[in-house]
Amino acid sequence: MEKNVSSLITIFGATGDLSYRKLFPSIYNLFQKGYFEHSLAIIGIGLNEFTTDEFREKVKNAIQNNIENPKKIDAFLKLLFYKQQDVNSKDSYHELLKMSLELDDKFDLKGNRLFYLAMSPKFFGIVTNHLQESGLTNVKGYKRIIIEKPFGDDLKSAEKLNNQIRKSFKEEEIFRIDHYLGKEMIQNIERLRFGNTIFEPLWNNKYISNVQVTSSETLGIEDRGAYYESSGALKDMVQNHLLQMVSLLAMEPPISRKSSDIRKEKVQVLKSLKCFNPNEIKKNFVRGQYDGGRMNNEFVPAYRNEPNVDSQSNTETFVAGKIEIENSRWAGVPFYIRTGKRMKKKSIQIVIEFKKNPMHLYYSNCEQNAPNLLVLNVQPNEGFSLCVNGKKSNQNNEMQKVKLPYTMPIKDKMNTVDAYENLIYDALIGEQTNFTHWEELKHSWKFVDDIENVWKQEQPQFPNYTSGSYGPKESEKLLSEDGLNWWNNL
């Protein structure tokens, strides 16, 4: 990382859970490592009637709960200020402008402003409009804005929201955050592919049988019932996180490491996703909803019995699907995606399964002809492994699977930054590689909308998988019909 960044960071929604758990600890970590050189000030905006001292105390507790050794916390808190504000009030932004100018002058921030909207998307257009009208976007330095998901509910609403924000910010000033893109092993995909000659020449339909992308959670929806009822796993996970991983795995080599060149290749992948007709969607995509069950010797309730959830809800908590990419590199290679709550284990994992060796000279039976696998473990145990075939230590020339693992050392894990820390720093220096471009968002929404429109036409048979399982049986069938299976125990 570079150093010596300067900025006034204004956080809308500063008293929310995301701000306390992720944003303030991440910004503090950057401060503690010396990336600001004291050219930093933070304005926290919320509806609560806090004084700045009261707010600093809450942020202090949040940082201490999330950071092991907060040595410079008192110095950091002196750079933190609070403003109670109703974001719908036009006049309040003039007060915010006055406060911003004073802090800019006091801390020599060079007119740089980063706005972070850690709030409901329904306020995004309102806030950006008022920021422009009040003069807060008229700056001597840079102006940038970070926006949390969900960015719209479908393509139409996303386009409307994007048009609103673009009245105040240019595309290169908009940072649509997807925290998966800040994870170390997700960022490692590009390095593994293009930095190793043993992989890139094989990264095509001649050698790869299929790709599997899984993001599973053991938790239920917890206190997010109201949000999840309006979203579901398809919009909450597939539209952003899973399709982003697919685009990184499938993209062509960029001509440079510039963010514009990398994002251009990701867009091409999303544009190449096969548009399925309704019958193909029914065949290639599975949805599910968890039932009650026992996990860790405790009974957990069904989704329909969770707080703020309709007792007859048809919201999906699980999605599995088969994606096809229509280009010369990937023709005939299925990309299977899977995500769900209340699953058997917590895991974010990518499995690249290579085609089996057609030579039968070395195999006494077909079971010994196991496919080679490249496995990327994003969470919980960051690392990757290569599964190959080798000889058993006997006189029968029998083969066995051999796993060549790399797990991130404990000392490196301790130094691994949180995804939000990575992404906030990228926004401060204007690096957009790990943020979602509008073109990416547009094509991913188009793909997801087609699935959603088909699902709306039929009533699903929910609940259809037990908590603590790998999801609905139809998910297994999705692969078995192609002569394949999910790799669950790698």
Tens digits of residue pLDDT in 389-406: 887 776 566 777 888 988
CB atoms within 10 A of CB 191: 9
Mean per-residue pLDDT, 462-481: 96
pLDDT for 361: 56
**Stretch 293-304: mean pLDDT:** 94
Average pLDDT over every residue of 158-162: 95
Residue 360's pLDDT is: 58
Of the candidates 27, 17, 26, 41, the residue with the CA atom closest to the CA atom of residue 118: 17
What is the pLDDT at residue 95? 95
- Cβ-based burial of 458 (10 A; exposed 0-12, middle 13-18, buried ≥19): exposed
Q: Is residue 414's pLDDT more than 50?
A: no
Range with the lowest mean pLDDT among 7-16, 213-222, 323-332, 357-366? 357-366
Where does the pLDDT of residue 367 fall: very low under 50, low under 70, confident under 90, or very high at 90 and above? Answer: low
Amino acid present at 415: N
Helix (H, G, I), strand (E, B) or coil at 69: coil
Q: For position 329, what pLDDT does the model report?
A: 97
pLDDT at 390: 81
Distance of CA 116 to the CA centre of its chain: 17
Sequence-distant (≥ 6) Cβ neighbours of residue 110 within 8 angstroms: 6, 39, 104, 140, 141
Residues known to be catalytic: 241
User: What pLDDT does 435 receive?
Assistant: 95
Whether pLDDT at 87 is above 60: yes
Q: How far is CA 175 from the centre of its chain?
A: 13
Which of 68-77, 191-200, 433-442 is predicted with the least confidence, judged by mean pLDDT?
68-77
**Residue 311: helix, strand or coil by DSSP?**
coil
Q: Look over the chain and give the mean of its residue pLDDT values, rounded to a whole number.
A: 92
- Summary count for the chain: helices (H), strands (E): 16, 18
**pLDDT score of 182 more than 80:** yes
Q: Which of 17, 42, 181, 56 is nearest to 114 (CA)?
A: 42
Output 227 or 214, whichever has higher pLDDT: 214
Amino acid at 130: H
User: In this model, does residue 318 exceed pLDDT 50?
Assistant: yes
Give dist(CA 140, CA 4) in Å, integer: 18
Q: Which pair of tokens denotes residue 82?
A: 């609070």
pTM strictly above 0.95: no
pLDDT level of residue 380 (50, 70, 90 thresholds): confident
Percent of the chain at pLDDT exceeding 70: 94
The torsion region of residue 483 among left (phi > 0), alpha (psi -120 to 50) and beta comes to left
